[in-house]
């Protein structure tokens, strides 16, 4: 199955990733990097993160994990939990030939995928006294993780604080496997989603489909 990557921006020190459901800094360069990295991929996020963005991310498959299915979440795929989100993400990734799935927060969503991610695009914002109520405290031991690339950026008119973007990859990757039959039988967690996709003609990959089935 496609590999899972985190994309995170946090303060250093403090490990803050959010405050009152907002990003507590303005870094236009980092936003551009986020767009470049995640475009034409699946992005999984929590309901609060989606609300903070305010709209679906264009040119990406947006999957929002929420316990409540809401008709107000237009333009996104809503999943009730991690496994349902991965079921949808795997389908779209396989269909489009994408090798990576991105998890974009918030804190609780990162913790849900903690044991599955193999790569992280980590922005560390060099700013003291950043107050927040959401944190990402993970440490990356170089015995288990290797630095793929790193670039430093100064504060500027576009960027409120100096920051560093690092890409780290797990040396011993965590593989994910899914039986092909998983896509060929009804998934009770996603029957309504599958029926909706079928009605839109989005699930026809290998021939005619019956409701509740996906063929790859």
Residue 191 has pLDDT above 80, yes or no: no
Residues 164 and 192 in one domain: no
Residues 168 and 205 occupy one common structural domain = no
Structural domains in the chain (count) = 2
Structural domain for 205, as ranges? 179-216
Contact 24, 11 (CB under 8 A): yes
**149 and 185: one domain?**
no
* Same-domain status, 183 and 165: no
Q: What is the pLDDT of residues 62-72, one digit of tens each?
A: 999 998 765 56
Q: Looking at per-residue confidence, does 158 or 215 come out higher?
A: 158
pLDDT of residue 23: 94
Q: Reply yes or no on whether the pLDDT at 115 is more than 50.
A: yes
Give the other-Cβ count within 10 Å of 116's Cβ. 17
Q: Which of 52, 112, 107, 53 is nearest to 79 (CA)?
A: 112
Among 102, 110, 116, which Cα is nearest to 15's?
Answer: 110
190 plus 168 within the same structural domain: no
What pLDDT, in 10s, does the model give residues 133-153? 999 999 999 999 999 999 999
Q: How high is the pLDDT of residue 186?
A: 53
Domain co-membership, 140 together with 36:
yes
- pLDDT tens, residue by residue, 17-69: 999 999 999 999 999 999 999 999 999 999 999 999 999 999 999 999 998 76
Q: Looking at residues 161-171, what average pLDDT do you find? A: 98
Query: Six-digit token pair at 67?
Result: 């316990």
Residues 169 and 195 in one domain: no
CATH number at 152 reads 3.40.430.10
Mean pLDDT on 156-165: 98
């Amino acid at each position: 199955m496609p590999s899972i990557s985190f994309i995170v921006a946090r303060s250093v020190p403090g490990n803050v990733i959010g405050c009152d459901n907002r990003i507590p800094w303005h870094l236009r360069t980092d936003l551009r990097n986020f767009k470049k990295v995640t475009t034409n991929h699946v992005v999984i996020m929590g309901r609060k993160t989606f609300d903070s963005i305010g709209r679906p991310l264009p040119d990406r498959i947006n999957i929002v994990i929420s316990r409540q299915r809401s008709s107000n979440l237009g333009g996104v795929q809503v999943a009730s939990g991690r496994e349902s989100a991965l079921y949808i993400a795997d389908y779209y990734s396989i269909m489009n030939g994408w090798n990576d799935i991105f998890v974009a927060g918030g804190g609780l969503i990162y913790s849900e995928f903690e044991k599955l991610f193999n790569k992280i695009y980590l922005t560390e914002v060099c700013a003291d006294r950043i107050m927040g109520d959401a944190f990402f405290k993970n440490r990356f031991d170089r015995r288990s993780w290797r630095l793929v690339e790193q670039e430093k950026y100064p504060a500027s008119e576009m960027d409120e604080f100096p920051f560093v973007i690092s890409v780290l990859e797990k040396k011993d990757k965590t593989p994910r496997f899914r039986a092909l039959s998983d896509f060929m039988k009804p998934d009770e967690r996603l029957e309504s989603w599958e029926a909706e996709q079928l009605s839109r003609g989005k699930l026809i990959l290998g021939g005619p489909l019956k409701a509740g089935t996906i063929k790859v």
